Amino acid sequence: MAAPAGHLRPGRYLAFFALIVVALYALVFFTGSGKPTPKLGIDLQGGTRVTLTARNPDGGDPPRESLEQARSIIERRVNGIGVSGTEVVLDGSNVVITVPGEQGDQAKTLGKTAKLGFRKVVTSQPVTPVPQPSAPPASGTPSSAPPASPGVSAPPTSPANGGGGAAGAPQQQPDENSDEKTKREIEEARNLRQNPDLLSTDQAKQAAAAEKAFAALNCDPKIADPLVGNDLTDKPLVACGDKNTMKYLLEPEFLPGTEISDASSGYDTQNSQWVVNLNFKGEGSRIWGDFTSKNVQKQAAFVLDTQVVSAPTIQSAILGGQTQITGRFSQTEAKDLADVLKYGSLPLSFESSDATTVSATLGLASLQAGLIAGGIGLLAVFIYCMFYYRLLGLLTILSLGLSFTIVYGVLVLLGRWIGYTLDLAGVAGLIIAIGITADSFVIYFERLKDEIREGRTFRSAVPRGWSRAQRTILAADAVSFLAAAVLYLLAVGDVKGFAFTLGMSTVLDLVVVYLVTHPLVAMVSRSKSKFLSNPKNLGLGAVQQLGSERKAARPATGRPNVKEA
């Protein structure tokens, strides 16, 4: 049995709701440095879309498992550098990164292979300048080139002149034989620069292989290196380094970059330069300490995507696994490299095949059309409510307005706190949520009519009608929220935005119904105003007349008063 209407204190509910609104908008206006507007997605504010194409050494399609792993790593990199509202999805053999706003330049570096490994230096020789060809070389820098030509040093060591390796050039325009050509170039480079004879015990054979590999290796930064992301870690490697002025013969990799547990950038005040600090995992720290103990006064090369970023000379054993990468970094370059190393090496090699700027014009036109459609629908709801429910319809309109007030404030705060961006799909979810909120009011008001039809007064019908209507409202909103939650968990892309706003609005609908709509109806039912107490003004005149007739036809026993023939 529901409590009588007098036991409900509407003022407290309304005061609590007002407190929520005040607190919400205090956070909106007095926290954060941005405007009190929601963050918009790429379809509403424009942005950048970067397409990364996977390169498979054998020319075939990359394994789906490797693509999924690469997508996951790139997504972690996105979260790590704080690029909000970014979408990372697979499109065949491509990874498509969509970044709203003006953060697109950061996304272009997210597909770096960042295949870091540690190799022992066997020998090195300076690069002989090569005369420039008469034809102008291709310009640009490939996506796989390491940032800035860094060097690496361990704090306890005295590093040699370690520097960056050769950067590659833009890839040729694909033709009908591009896959075969790439495969052939990779095999030729492996046969020369990863020939096992490079470490042969036969001095003559080793010298001949090294001479041939050094002669074939071109450290011109304008020429692409086919081994980027495709080198074999269990074979020796001939690579460029020291600002492309040195060539190194290296032993097989003794420590993979996956043993790095953390990487961060910082400023070395002693040497006045930006550095990248590396920490190794337990096994990696052990291997690194063992290697440095056995190779004092020898060089260890830090190889990033087949480029020697530094080759420090080991002065003493390095225990604890703490290492520094140095090399005239800018602050941004140091941070970019640290982020790439921190969030893992990609299982595939990628090249940036497309980077386009997305205009917000089409999205804004769609938004305008959607808002017009939503406004027309909302106006139709208002007209219907006013015609059918009269003053109760006014309460519906007021409740919808207050619901929008809360939703707007929550969207602004979510954009600041978790980087949520509102896109067209999210707007569609908000518009559909208007119907869900209106349904809650219709359920409540129709339940009131049922009670009045039974002969009760409006005042006595309110608590009984609410007691029964709230169960239906809770069940309906629970189903809507569950559907939105499942859709959010299983969907990708824009559908997630639709599901998020739909679920959020459904929850806020309950807040408005419980804290505003029901208390206002209770206040009207207890009002002494003749205008408010007139059933006709509440859209209840017909049902109250029917209730009076039924009540008059019902005797004290509760059975209809029917005359016998």
How do residues 439-484 score in pLDDT, each as one tens digit?
888 899 889 888 888 888 888 888 998 988 999 999 999 999 999 9
Q: Whole-angstrom Cα distance, residue 517 to residue 437?
A: 11
Assign 3-state DSSP to the chain and report helix, strand, coil percentages, each to 5.
50, 15, 35
SS3 state of residue 57: coil
Q: What is the mean pLDDT of residues 396-402?
A: 88
Say yes or no to pLDDT of 137 above 70: no
Angle (CA) 154-122-284 rounded to 5° is 40
Q: What is the mean pLDDT of residues 237-243?
A: 86
168-207 burial, b if ≥16 CB within 10 A, otherwise e? Answer: bbebeeeeeeeeeebbeebeebbebbbbeebbbeeeeebe
CA atoms within 13 A on the CB side of 28: 19
In the structure encoding, which two tokens stand for residue 434, read together? Answer: 């208007």
Residue pointed to by tokens 């129709």: 446
Containing 125, the helix (H) or strand (E) segment is strand 116-126
In the structure encoding, which two tokens stand for residue 184, read together? Answer: 């052939």
Q: What is the mean pLDDT of residues 501-511?
A: 92
CA distances from 121 to 118, 233, 248, 445 (A): 10, 14, 7, 82
Q: Which amino acid is at 564?
A: E
- Nearest Cα to 438, choosing from 481, 385, 491? 385
Q: Are 270 and 279 in contact (CB under 8 A)?
A: no
Model pTM greater than 0.75? no
Q: What is the mean pLDDT of residues 219-229?
A: 79
Sign of torsion over alpha carbons 431, 433, 437, 440: positive
Q: Which residues contact 300 (CB under 8 A, 6 or more apart)?
A: 118, 119, 120, 121, 291, 292, 311, 312, 314
Sign of torsion over alpha carbons 441, 443, 444, 449: positive
Q: What is the pLDDT of residue 56?
A: 66
Say yes or no to pLDDT of 141 above 70: no
533-561 burial, b if ≥16 CB within 10 A, otherwise e? Answer: bebebbbbeebbeebeeeeeeeeeeeeee
Q: Which residues contact 564 (CB under 8 A, 6 or more apart)?
A: none
Q: Which residues contact 131 (CB under 8 A, 6 or more apart)?
A: none
In the structure encoding, which two tokens stand for residue 64, read together? Answer: 């789906």
- Secondary structure, 3-state, 344-358: CCCCCEEEEEEEEEE
Q: Are 305 and 228 in contact (CB under 8 A)?
A: yes
Q: What is the mean pLDDT of residues 263-276?
A: 86
Q: Residue 153 — very low, low, confident or very high, per pLDDT cuts 50/70/90?
A: very low
pLDDT tens for residues 432-451?
A: 888 888 888 889 988 988 88
SS3 state of residue 100: strand
Q: Are 170 and 142 in contact (CB under 8 A)?
A: yes
Other beta carbons less than 10 A from residue 137's beta carbon:
12
Say yes or no to pLDDT of 138 above 70: no
Q: What is the pLDDT of residue 248?
A: 94
Q: What is the mean pLDDT of residues 17-24?
A: 95
CA distances from 365 to 38, 45, 49, 101, 372 (A): 18, 11, 20, 17, 11
Q: What is the pLDDT of residue 84?
A: 57
Q: Whole-angstrom Cα distance, residue 189 to residue 180?
A: 14
Angle (CA) 146-148-152 rounded to 5° is 80
Q: At what angle do helices 541-552 and 424-453 cross, to 10 degrees?
A: 30
Say yes or no to pLDDT of 78 above 70: no
Residue 260: burial class (beta carbons within 10 Å; 0-12, 13-18, 19+): buried
Length of the chain counted residue by residue: 565
Q: Which residues contact 373 (CB under 8 A, 6 or more apart)?
A: 431
Indicate left, alpha or beta for 59 from its phi (over 0: left) and psi (-120 to 50: alpha).
Answer: left
Q: Whole-angstrom Cα distance, residue 386 to residue 395?
A: 10
Q: Residue 410 — very low, low, confident or very high, per pLDDT cuts 50/70/90?
A: very high
- What's the CA dihedral at 171, 165, 355, 420 to 10 degrees? 150
Q: Whole-angstrom Cα distance, residue 453 to residue 266?
A: 75
Say yes or no to pLDDT of 4 above 60: no
Q: What is the mean pLDDT of residues 151-166?
A: 38
Lowest mean pLDDT among 19-28, 228-237, 329-338, 442-451: 329-338
Q: What is the mean pLDDT of residues 422-430?
A: 85
Residue pointed to by tokens 């052939």: 184
Catalogue all structural domains in the chain, each as residue range(s) with its CATH number.
5-40+360-552 (1.20.1640.10), 43-108 (3.30.70.3220), 116-344 (3.30.1360.200)
